[in-house]
Structures are given as structure tokens and as C-alpha cells.
Structure 1
Amino acid sequence: MREGTNVGRRTRPAVIGGIALSAVMLSQVALVSPAMAVTGLTRTVGTSASNSVAKSANAPCATGTTVIGGGGFVTGAAGQVGMDIMLPLWDGTGFSVTGREDETGTSANWSVTSTALCAPAPSGFQVMSGSTGFASNATDWVTVSCPLGTVALGVGGAVNGASNSEVVLEQLRIDTSSVTVGGAEDGTGYAGNWQVQGRAMCANQPAGYERLLTDSAYDSVSPKSLTLSCSPGKKVHGVGAEILGGDGQVRLTGAYASSSTAVTVSAAEDEDGYSSTWKVRAFAICAT
């Protein structure tokens, strides 16, 4: 694979391609000052019509709240629809997910659902943005850092440039103080230029903050799905996901808060299948 080059961005995080994580991994950061809980946290959902055209779904936040995390999932046409845009709305009033069919299309009906995690703006809340330049790299990614002293709660990302899902959004990674968003051209490649867009939703560390991750099996079975739960007494504040080893031939079909305390991530190979091994990883940002 060719690697993208972005001036000033961090090196893409290394992954353990051949080892499945058998246990949930957890990271916490040291408190600089007493942490406050994020109050008034709610989860909202918006679902599109079910048909065979490109479409978006917005999950709205209530008046007086802002989106601090989000995600979505596709129902139907597994592996032939890419969630190419998964971003908080520019004014913070919700989370939006756009689904598009691959270049061969499908006659099946499908829908897209967006989920938003909303709350009154937490202490220190800021949304940070970054993007790559437009290029025709086989893969590309961007890392967006949170302001010093804050942590990442949520991640949003998009792959822009193709008119259909010929570029796969395959990485929405949340680290403690940054997010990394990555994309890859699909199995047939893409001749045009495209870019990756990333957003990090950051805030002062909330009380009980934890970053959890877990992996599916590392094999050639499709589809794959896994659910990751917060520690007892904690709620989901942010969602992340990534496909490892898919080479653009595996699409995320879900990365969302399936309840107030759990994250579900799923993926499926494209219509031609994929003979190599791959896995999907789920991230959950939780706090009290």
C-alpha cells in the first residue's frame, strides 16, 4: 500500500495486525484537578428512508445541549454501502451520517441511522478539525489533537472526493488526547483525488474517564460484530472504530452507542469477498 503524506501530522499509530486482543484494554489519564461529571447526557437517534439511493440521517441534540460524540449504522446491503461521512453538525446541534453505494451499486433497499450523544457543553469543550490534502494515495489519514490539558470524548470523520463509495472510511480511532481518521481506496482503486477529514470533540477530563477497546477475531469470516460495555456505573460519551487488515475491501456497517452504556461496531466484506484475514476494533469513551 502507498502511504499518504500530510505535512505536520503525526505518524499513523501502529497496529497489531495478527494478534486479536482477548481482553478489553483500558487507559486512564491522571487528574490534574478535580474532575466534574458530564451532566444531562442523552442519546438520540435519526433514521433515513429505506431505498437504494445515497442518503443522510441526522440525530438531533435538544436545545441547550451540544453533540459530544456520535456514530451510526447501515441496515441492509451489507458491504456495498459505505458510511463515508460521520461527522458532528457544524453548529453542534447533532450528528450526521451519510451512506453511499459502491461503484457497482445494489438493487437492495437500505437505510442509514445516526446516533448522537448530547449534553450541555462540558467544561473546556472544543471541537478541533483537520484534513489531508486532496491526492490519489491508496491510503491516507489525519490525526487531530485536543488542546493541551483536555481529552478526546468523540471522533468524526469523512472521506471526500469520490461520487460513490470507492473510498472507504475505515478508521475512527480515539486516543486519550487525539483522534485519527483514515481511509483507503476500495479493491478496484480510485483514479481521482480524495481527502480525509477528521474532527475531535475535546473537553476537560470528566469524572471517571476511561478509554476502552476490544477486538474481534482476526480471520476471514464476514460479517463481524462486537459490543463493548462501560465499567459499572459509567456511561458512553464517545464511540470509535477501525478495520485492521481490510485493504479497502471491508466496510464499517456500524459504529454507534447501542445503549447508554455500550458501543457496538460491525463490518462486512464487499460483494466480492476478501480472502485475507482482518479484524474490527471497537473503542468506547466512558465516564460517570
Structure 2
Amino acid sequence: MRVSSRAGFGSAAVALAVLGAVGISGATPASAAPAGWEVLSGISLSDSVAVKTVELHCPTGKVVSGGEAWLTASPGAVGRVGLERYAPSADGKTWTVVMRETGATNYTGDWQISARAFCVTTPSGYEVVAADKTGTNDYHRMQITAQCSGTKKLLGSGAMVYNTDGAFILDRVEAGFNDPTEIPFYTIARARTLDQGKVAHSQEDLRAYAICANKPAALERVRGLSDMVSPSMQNVPVACPAGKEPYSVGAGIHVSSIHENNRAQVLISGMRSSNAWAHEDPDGYVEDWRLSATLICG
């Protein structure tokens, strides 16, 4: 739907702790199901800098299983800021979120991002698997999967675009579509060139991450999906069952197959363990689209 204004964030866009000059907060709920489950929270400065990063480091003896990211209390920036990195480090010690302005001209207002990392006691068989796709984009998009080795299962998903000069943005970072009764074992990552952004060049780079381990007890996937419609904003509620906590959060934007190769006109604004949400860019998107949200819980 083509509109000139955007909806607010509601309760989803609430700042947590402050990163950088103000520090990082951590909390360990006693009732958390995953062993050693701990949440680290961070928030960027609120200013007009075009690229913002939040980096969170798990404490000694723990590794990251996944995380969250969202545009915080910045209603004027929705549809103008996209996700560039949502990923673990190769050793699993760090969770990094990068979001950047995407318009043909930079957004002049202040905006900020929040992130959370879920850290757990290092599970048996823990590994971070990365897979890269480089080269010419496939009609404005690239997609790649990263798969767990052997019989290991997916705890969390990550992805990043690089060497793109802001021309590409992530529009899907999510557990794979194997049988819904099974635990996923791979990540799907996808990026698209921007409709309102920098001019895309011929060489693009996309990396997918699968955060894997031998299957922990009570692991399960929870997925929510919106209707295929054309609003300026969509929100998908999702939650782990009672007594369980999230290992990770993923989300994806989906368009009809006939428009699959379109440039990105819908941007992910947030992925949390309670919901995911996305906004059309300032010009709107005339076609139907839907949003998925996926949790891995334990």
C-alpha cells in the first residue's frame, strides 16, 4: 500500500540496556530451560549516523545461540533502515547486529537500534557453520543456506551482507523449511538490492550462519506467518511455549513468486522473541507480501 506516513512501534520498540558509553546489562533467569541461558542487552546511540552497530560478548564458558534486533523508538526511520548483519562470530562468543540507512538520500533524523544476545553453557557438539555466496546477484536477489554437519540440529540462524556499499540488505534470516514436526538443521539467508537505496553493483556477497549442536532436550521450532496482503506495516506475534526460553529468533519477508526478483521494498524493522515486524519503504509496495517469524525454543 502506498502511503506517506508510517505506523508507530507499540510495545515492541522498547529500549533495554545501553551499550558503549553506558554499558551492557545481563540477566540470568533461574527458570530458564536451556542450560546457563543468559540474556545480554545493548542499545546504540540515538543520532543520525548512517550505520549503527551493537556487539555483545558472551561470558566465559558460554556461547551465543542466537539473538534479537530491532529499530528502537525511531518512527520516522521505519522503512528507511534495513538489516545488514545479524550474526554470531566464528567462535560463537559474540553476537553482532548492524543496521543502516537505505534511502537514496540518507535519513536526516536521529534513530537507534537495540539488540539482545542469548548465551548458553556451551552445548555438546556446538559449532558455527558459515556458507558464502559471491558474484553477480540473481535479478536483484541472492540466497544461500548454511547446514549443520552430521545429525546436529539448528539452535540459531545468522546472516550478513558485505562488500556491497549499502546496495544489498537482508530480508530473510530464518530456520529452514524442513518438516514442521522436525527440528531444523539449516539456515536460509536472503538479501535483495534496494529499491530506494544505493546503486547496486555487479559483485555482491552474502553469508549465512547455522549455529548448531547435538540436539538439546526439548528443542522445538515455533513459527508465525502473517496474511499475504499489502499494508504499510505487518507484525507477527510469536512465543515459546510456557516453561521454555528462546535459543534464537529469525524472520523473513515473502512476496508472491511472480515478483520474487523485485528489488527490496519492504524492510525488516525488528525481530524479537515476542514478535517480528516489517515496513514498506517510503514509496510503499503495491504488491502483496507477508512476514514470517521463527523461534527455536528449549
Q: Which runs of 5+ in 1 are unaligned?
A: 1-36, 258-262
Question: Are 2:43 and 1:43 equivalent residues in the alignment?
Answer: no
Aligned to 1:215: 225
Contact kept? 1:253, 1:267, Cα under 8 Å: yes
Question: In structure 2, what residue type is equivalent to 1:187?
Answer: D
Question: Are 2:238 and 1:228 equivalent residues in the alignment?
Answer: yes
Aligned to 1:148: 150
Other structure's SS at 2:228 match: coil
Identity of aligned residues (%): 29
- Give the superposition deviation at 1:123: 1.1
Aligned to 1:274: 285
Aligned to 2:87: 87
Aligned to 2:271: 255
Counterpart CA distance in 2 for 1:67 and 1:251 is 25
Question: Are 2:182 and 1:180 equivalent residues in the alignment?
Answer: no
Question: In structure 2, what residue type is equivalent to 1:280?
Answer: L
After superposition, the CA RMSD in angstroms is 1.6
Counterpart CA distance in 2 for 1:200 and 1:274 is 31
- Give the superposition deviation at 1:264: 2.0
Residues matched between the structures, number: 245
Which stretches of structure 1, 4 residues or longer, exceed 4 Å deviation after superposition?
A: none
Counterpart CA distance in 2 for 1:229 and 1:238 is 11
Q: C-alpha offsets along residues 179-223 of structure 1, whole Å, 9 cap, x if unaligned?
A: 110111122562342121111100111111111111112211121
Contact kept? 1:47, 1:58, Cα under 8 Å: no
- Give the superposition deviation at 1:59: 2.5
Aligned to 1:198: 208
Counterpart CA distance in 2 for 1:135 and 1:161 is 12
Counterpart CA distance in 2 for 1:124 and 1:92 is 12
Contact kept? 2:123, 2:213, Cα under 8 Å: yes
Q: TM-score, normalised by structure 2?
A: 0.78
Task: State which of 61, 66, 69 in structure 2 corresponds to 1:69.
Answer: 66
Contact kept? 2:34, 2:245, Cα under 8 Å: no
- Give the superposition deviation at 1:168: 2.1
Q: C-alpha offsets along residues 49-71 of structure 1, whole Å, 9 cap, x if unaligned?
A: 01111110112322221111113
